Amino acid sequence: MAGSIFYKYLIYNVLLLIIGTLSIADAAARELKITFHIRGVAGTNVSLIPLSGPKLLKSIAEVKSVKSGQTAFLTVPDEYLPGEFILRFDYKEKQESTPYPSEKHILIGSQSLELWVHPMFANNPDSTWFGKDEKENTAFALFTKENSRQKEKIGLLQQFLMAYDDTGSDFYLEGIREYEKRRVEYNKWLDARTKEDKALFASSLYRFSYLPDIAWTGSEKERLLSLIGHYFDGIDFNDPVITRTSQLNEWMNGYVNLHGQMATSMALRDSLLPAAARKAIETAKAGHPQVYGWMVDYFYRGFESNDLPQGMKVLEPYLNDPACPTTKRMEIERRLKGMETLLPGVTAPDFVLNNRDNIPVRLSEFTKGTGYILLLFWSADCSHCAETVKTLYPWSLKPETSSKLEVIAISLDETEAEITAWNNTITGLQGWTHLRAKEGINSKVANDYFILATPVMILIDRKTGKIKALPGSTEELNNITG
């Protein structure tokens, strides 16, 4: 009996070993590589940068110092496949040259790639090319070329129909008939190409070119509303692979921009965009969960960067939906909590941070006297921050402003490159108190003030130490303090 149990146990472990070996072999079979044959430069570093996923626009694989005539390879992490990537070459034309970047957009599906590369001409097909049996990028290049030819005249017709004022004229009606004829023919061609290349990741990108139906009668606003109403017609939200494309983000930007065209005021914009988000998320909700979660993430990023609290409220119900796999659940919850907690009339959380000379500075030491303190949470390499500083700094130096307001600029820069940029930038921002939170967005002061993105301005009444307002612009700040 004991021997029987032993043999059963032995067989069980052998089976586990076989299954494990097969799993490893299967994983190895799926492991994709990019092989490079470098020429024409003294040397180059090569990095692979995804255009989607958790490490968007950050290197996930790299190889250094590949010299002309040498061959090297990168292994592509399986969790990023299939996907769109940027191949970045930081090359030296001569050994003593300063490194110079060049980039090449590529698609990777289920096939390893081999490239012959001249980094100085990474996008010239005469100087940089794939192996003869390469499928994804070859198919996408052919599609892009033909698609451009197919859509050229249709685009001209669409511009004419959207802007023409006499919608009852025979000329306009003839334009509608010609446009509809070409639109139907184009979408049939698009369907055929998508079906022909359905085994390729590239085909998931084709559908973003679909031309939706538009009711051309009525006013220009009604035409725009019709375009918005049919915007999602050509996309399959049941296909999770579309979340691996950069085109999905660009396509959704187009949808948001259409709503922006209808906004004649900031107040109208702030009501239109949350409504746009609700419709888009509800549409995605009926599709694949991965697309549903992606859509919530997309609007979170937009609402956070544009400081739209009304939009954040729209996202709240989806946090309670177990079918919604948003990756931004914690950030949304934190922002909603901040909206309920960090309000005008609440005492501003105290903090101690070091200045550029490593001297500790406490907020409560400033909250004595009259006037205001403006906390500016920012980053030196943030483009939105640069725009804010461009208007805020000269305004803050005006005698009528500086006499009643002091600016404390809190840097959330973390990396060595960011800190260097911060040190260089603040030399031109004399008159402000400059502090840096070493842990950046994860620092205690950022948590206390519910900072998830930059820039953020918080105006504090110096006499009471309480929050006066959370202005979104220098103009708004001027109206409050004026």
DSSP-assigned beta bridge partners for residue 408: 375, 433
Query: What 3-state DSSP class applies to 108?
Result: strand
| 8 A C-beta contact, residue 153 and residue 183 | no
User: What six digits make up the tokens of 270?
Assistant: 């702030």
What pLDDT, on a 0 to 100 scale, did the predictor assign at position 1? 40
Residues of the chain short of pLDDT 70, as ranges, are: 1-30, 266
Per-residue b/e over 80-115, b at no fewer than 16 CB within 10 Å?
bbbbbbbbbbbbbbeeeeeeeebebebbbbebebbb
Domain spans, the chain: 1-28, 31-130, 150-341, 352-481
Per-residue pLDDT tens for 234-271? 999 999 999 999 999 999 999 999 998 888 776 777 78
Task: Identify the pLDDT of residue 9.
Answer: 36
What pLDDT score does 261 carry?
87
pLDDT of residue 215: 86
At 304 the pLDDT is 84
pTM of the complete model beyond 0.85: no
Identify the pLDDT of residue 103.
Answer: 96
Angle between helix axes 329-341 and 309-319 (nearest 10 degrees) is 130
> What pLDDT score was predicted for residue 308?
81
pLDDT of residue 131: 94
What is the predicted pLDDT for the residue at 8?
Answer: 38
Round to whole Å and give the CA distance between 321 and 442.
27
Note if the bond before 325 is cis, omega within 30 degrees: no
- Looking at domain 352-481, its CATH class is alpha beta
The span from the first CA to the last CA of the chain, in angstroms, equals 92
pLDDT at 417: 84
Which is nearest to 254 in space by CA: 310, 316, 211?
211
What topology is assigned to 31-130 in CATH? Immunoglobulin-like (2.60.40)
